[in-house]
Every structure is written in structure tokens, then in C-alpha cells.
Amino acid sequence: MSSARPTAELHSVPRISIETLTAYFNALYLVDRERTTPIELRVGRQSGPLCELHALYRVDESVFVSACNPFGRQQDSEENIKATQELHAWLQEQAFASITGRGVDEAGAWPAEESYLVLGADAALGRVLCVRFGQNAVLHSGAEGIPTLLLHPDAVLC
């Protein structure tokens, strides 16, 4: 599926401020589960429920990604819905198991972003997703179930 967003925008160099980076570290990342409370993920904190999910799907790692608000530039809800649909379609085309979720700024300064936990995705795929969907960062979790912030490969901290 081709993206409707301009190629130049997708390949621009993301500039990430310390404030934005801090917001990513402080955000709550929720993974939806059927008939129960969501799994809560936080950067640098081990998640037993995430390890259980990895075991259930027989994977050693995963990536939590959104397609909303490319490069941290807030878009209207219609654009974010379209970008999320494009991400979902791409994940399906690639045959990745994924579970819906959302990234939440608990301070309320930024709206929640619809997201996906991509099961079996490694750090290399995380970087591909950053580039393909114009994201400053994604969360990558290995076998130990500790989410780490994985920045866009061309990101510049400012």
C-alpha cells in the first residue's frame, strides 16, 4: 500500500527536543487485551504481562508503534485515523501479528495516539517502521520484557 503522505516528509530528518524525549520516557503505553485491563508498558520497566504475551505468541521481542502525528507534529484526527489505517494495512500485508493499543501522555498535554504492538518485530523492523511512518521513535522490547526507546535512525537530538 502506498502512503498518501509526501515522500519528502517521510524522509526528513527528525529533530527531537529534550522535552519531547522526556515525554516519550514518561508516557504510558497501553496494549489492549480481550476482556481484561490493558497491559501497561513504561520505558525501562520490566513487564511480566508483556513476557507472557511474548510466550503466548512464541516470540522473543516486539515493537510498539504509532503512525499518528509524524515527527511529533500534531495532525487532525482524520489524518491520524488515515495514518493508523495505513499502518494496520501494512502490518497485515506483511503478516505480522499485532494488537491494538495507545500511547498516553498522563499529563494530558498530548492526545492519546492509537498504536500497535507488533509481535515478533525486532529492532531493525522498529527502525523501518520509524522511517516508513515518519515516527521519531518506537518502543522495542526483547525477551526480558523491558521496553526501550528506539529512535528514528536519522534522528538528531536538539
The string of pLDDT tens digits covering residues 39-72 is 999 999 999 999 999 999 999 999 999 999 999 8
- 4 part of a folded domain: no
- 140 part of a folded domain: yes
- 3 part of a folded domain: no
The string of pLDDT tens digits covering residues 65-123 is 999 999 988 999 999 999 999 999 999 999 999 999 999 998 888 889 999 999 999 99
Total domain count, the chain: 1
pTM recorded for the entire structure? 0.89
Range of the domain at 31: 16-157
145: closest CA among 57, 78, 33, 27? 57
3-state helix vs strand vs coil in the chain, percent to 5: 35, 30, 35
- 52 part of a folded domain: yes
- 8 part of a folded domain: no
Q: What are phi and psi of 134, to 5 degrees?
A: 60, 45
- 7 part of a folded domain: no
Is residue 14 classed as helix, strand or coil in its secondary structure? coil
